[in-house]
Structure 1
């Protein structure tokens, strides 16, 4: 058996998958209707929409089997994401990659497999729309086109999920997207015994920008703040516009002191922007950072309140200094 290799861009691919929100979001019935349709169209006993996570497959729909997940290292779908073309296996017993695979020699006794790669809106290859049969069979060019059309519908659903978790003004994650991903990050950090730190930001005197220069300039200020966040922090850090002029950064595998240094760098970037922007207003903000402590902090709302409290303490200092 040949276990699927990791794509060269595995780290970036996994970041895109987790930040997309599709691991947890999306109406299951929409995917289930498509796999039921695929079973009828192709006369196969099994049709699935799978996502390739770091160690396992996550099924958005698994029609014909009762799997909730499957180890990635024995999966056929793990091979699909290595190419932009569909993977067609007419007889798994005659394919060196799969002949002694547990899914071939044991349940569900796969003989035929056809998987079309699924992409996110940013192009990341994240899974497969696949058909399985316990009998060998052929797959025509017309069949491939039909499977591609079904995969395109799934990708449209991915697009909808992505839009539902993205702030339209800044392109950062919105509150809904953040909550999905933050809960996932907390569980993952606990499992991996890695630090996870939240940075919380509130713009200073943002109301004055809106009142004095108009809401269009206020929108520009929000977009510029988002641009600085993207420029300053890593691709693996989760960036969110939580609402109004509140922003957050979820620093993966970073303790509180490391996050503090990163926030100071953001302050330097904002200072540089203010010197060169030519705007009559300045980007100024207050912030706080707090590491997630699995003993003292029990949930996401409590973590947000603690971060907001630290941010507010800095805002009070800024106001007192100006006074």
Structure 2
């Protein structure tokens, strides 16, 4: 159920998505209406819990857009987005399982990644895909450390998956609220 990426081992699902499947994934992402939105206290609580459970300095709800990954919630990182080309989460959404990279400096996919060679100096990544009801994976709940560490425990991975499900549930709650809220109130809330 979980996959750990070790030195020199390719992720078996790292093949590029087909253009049709990627287009459908992006349409599902856009239908959520979660990109470029304000902070949400419940999503913030989830990333804070994930960081604490892993004893990691960074945790993110990352939404993988066409050319960027945008952070819907973040703990321990100031930036709101990065280029998709350097995104670990792009690889994580290609599979069904928790995606873990133990030492990116020694991994052929990430050794020259600017997020590894510079800030935030990623030395460990663990991400659970955000799987919608239609099966599309639109992003991840991930934890990041700037220190090399061993693999996460099965309990940590299971908890990360459960929290990822909580994130998706929150997306649907936010979408339902937006649909049922009067237009005038939505306009005031958006400011």
In the superposition, the TM-score normalised over structure 1's length comes to 0.49
* Displacement over 6 Å in runs of 4+: none
Whether 1:62 aligns to 2:74 is yes
Runs of 5+ unmatched residues, structure 1: 168-173, 181-323
Contact 2:37 2:72 (8 Å CA) reproduced: no
- The within-5 A match list for 1:41-190 is 41-138=53-150, 139-166=152-179
What is the Cα deviation at residue 5 of structure 1?
6.4
Residue 28 of structure 1: aligned partner: 40
The secondary structure found in structure 1 opposite 2:167 is helix
Q: 1:61–1:5: structure 2 CA closer, same or farther, 3 Å change rule?
A: farther
What is the Cα deviation at residue 7 of structure 1?
2.5
Match of 1:7 among 17, 22, 35: 17
Q: Which has the higher contact order (CA 8 A, sep 6+)?
A: 2
- Write the deviation string for residues 39-92 of structure 1: whole angstroms up to 9, x where unpaired: 211110100001001110111112111111100010101111111111100111
Contact 1:110 1:132 (8 Å CA) reproduced: yes
Runs of 5+ unmatched residues, structure 2: 1-9
Whether 1:37 aligns to 2:49 is yes
Instruction: Note the aligned Cα RMSD (angstroms).
Output: 2.4
Q: 1:69–1:13: structure 2 CA closer, same or farther, 3 Å change rule?
A: same
The secondary structure found in structure 1 opposite 2:127 is strand
Contact 1:121 1:158 (8 Å CA) reproduced: no
In the superposition, the TM-score normalised over structure 2's length comes to 0.80
Contact 2:101 2:124 (8 Å CA) reproduced: yes
What is the Cα deviation at residue 162 of structure 1?
3.2
What is the Cα deviation at residue 22 of structure 1?
1.9
The secondary structure found in structure 2 opposite 1:10 is helix
Contact 1:13 1:125 (8 Å CA) reproduced: yes
Q: 1:83–1:57: structure 2 CA closer, same or farther, 3 Å change rule?
A: same
Contact 1:21 1:165 (8 Å CA) reproduced: no
Structure with the higher fraction of residues in helix conformation: 1
Cα separation, 2, equivalents of 1:13 and 1:80? 14
Aligned length: 170
What is the Cα deviation at residue 141 of structure 1?
1.3
What is the Cα deviation at residue 133 of structure 1?
0.4
Q: 1:150–1:130: structure 2 CA closer, same or farther, 3 Å change rule?
A: same
- Write the deviation string for residues 161-210 of structure 1: whole angstroms up to 9, x where unpaired: 2333558xxxxxx986xx99xxxxxxxxxxxxxxxxxxxxxxxxxxxxxx
Q: 1:27–1:66: structure 2 CA closer, same or farther, 3 Å change rule?
A: closer
